[in-house]
């Protein structure tokens, strides 16, 4: 897909701040530092529109990006940051529960994982959380450029098995360095529109 326009429209905490046009939405989640911002920026051809906002102490918001005036990417704050306080973690959980339990225009969630490693307990919890709300998931296994070609199938199998992916949920090897997987990721996203 050719992205000709991408802009941040709002950093929201409460539902009343969510965009109200009813455009389709795709949420992006992943543990801190996994490569989520790099994924978003690569997908929309920007150097740094999406930024890591998951440092402890920073306000945790859902960042809505309007793409081609047609749909939203919703950047979910990263998880698994050890230094985050209990209070911050609780606020994060509440915000996600509110958004994912009631957002009707949400089409699918993209769960970003690191292709080099077995998904963490936090990744599994996140996947199970999406399934609980019956949200389709596209798993993006990023940092593909960091492993050898011969390892890809084995790593993908490990991710699929560890998360216990539904057969209907896709997994896409991706690299923000080389843009491998970019067309496949767009195809998987656009299939929901």
- The C-alpha atoms of residue 169 and residue 117 are separated, in whole angstroms, by 19
Query: Which of 1, 9, 46, 52 is the binder for ligand GDP (CB under 6 A)?
Result: 52
Asked whether position 170 contacts ligand GDP by CB under 6 A, the answer is no
Asked whether position 155 contacts ligand GDP by CB under 6 A, the answer is no
- The C-alpha atoms of residue 122 and residue 127 are separated, in whole angstroms, by 9
Asked whether position 158 contacts ligand GDP by CB under 6 A, the answer is no
What count of other Cβ atoms lies within 10 Å of the Cβ of residue 58?
Answer: 12
Contact between 2 and 186 (Cβ < 8 Å): no
Report the b/e string of 77-92 with b at 16+ CB within 10 A: bbbbbeebeeebeebb
Asked whether position 177 contacts ligand GDP by CB under 6 A, the answer is yes
Q: How far is the CB of 9 from ligand GDP (least distance, A)?
A: 19
Contact between 181 and 173 (Cβ < 8 Å): yes
Rank residues 91 and 147 by Cβ distance to ligand GDP and give the closer one.
147
What count of other Cβ atoms lies within 10 Å of the Cβ of residue 55?
Answer: 12
Asked whether position 34 contacts ligand GDP by CB under 6 A, the answer is yes
Asked whether position 184 contacts ligand GDP by CB under 6 A, the answer is no
Q: How far is the CB of 176 from ligand GDP (least distance, A)?
A: 4
Asked whether position 176 contacts ligand GDP by CB under 6 A, the answer is yes
Contact letters (x/-) for ligand GDP, 80-119, by CB under 6 A? ----------------------------------------
Upper half-sphere CA count for residue 159 (Cβ side, 13 Å): 25
Interface residues toward ligand GDP, by CB under 6 A: 30, 32-38, 52, 54, 78, 142-143, 145-146, 175-177
């Amino acid at each position: 897909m050719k992205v000709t326009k991408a802009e941040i429209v709002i950093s929201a905490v409460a539902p009343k701040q969510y965009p109200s046009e009813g455009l389709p939405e795709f949420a992006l989640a992943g543990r801190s530092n996994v490569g989520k911002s790099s994924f978003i920026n690569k997908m929309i051809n920007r150097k740094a529109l999406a930024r890591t906002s998951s440092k402890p102490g920073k306000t945790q918001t859902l960042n809505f990006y309007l793409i081609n005036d047609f749909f939203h990417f919703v950047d979910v704050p990263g998880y698994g940051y050890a230094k985050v306080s209990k209070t911050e973690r609780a606020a994060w959980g509440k915000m996600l529960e509110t958004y994912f339990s009631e957002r009707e225009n949400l089409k699918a969630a993209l769960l970003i994982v690191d292709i080099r490693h077995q998904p963490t307990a936090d990744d599994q919890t996140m996947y199970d959380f999406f399934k609980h709300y019956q949200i389709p998931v596209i798993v993006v296994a990023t940092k593909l450029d960091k492993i050898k070609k011969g390892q890809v199938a084995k790593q993908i199998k490990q991710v699929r098995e560890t998360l216990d992916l539904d057969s209907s949920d896709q997994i896409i090897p991706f690299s923000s360095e080389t843009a491998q997987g970019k067309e496949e990721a767009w195809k998987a996203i656009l299939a929901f529109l």
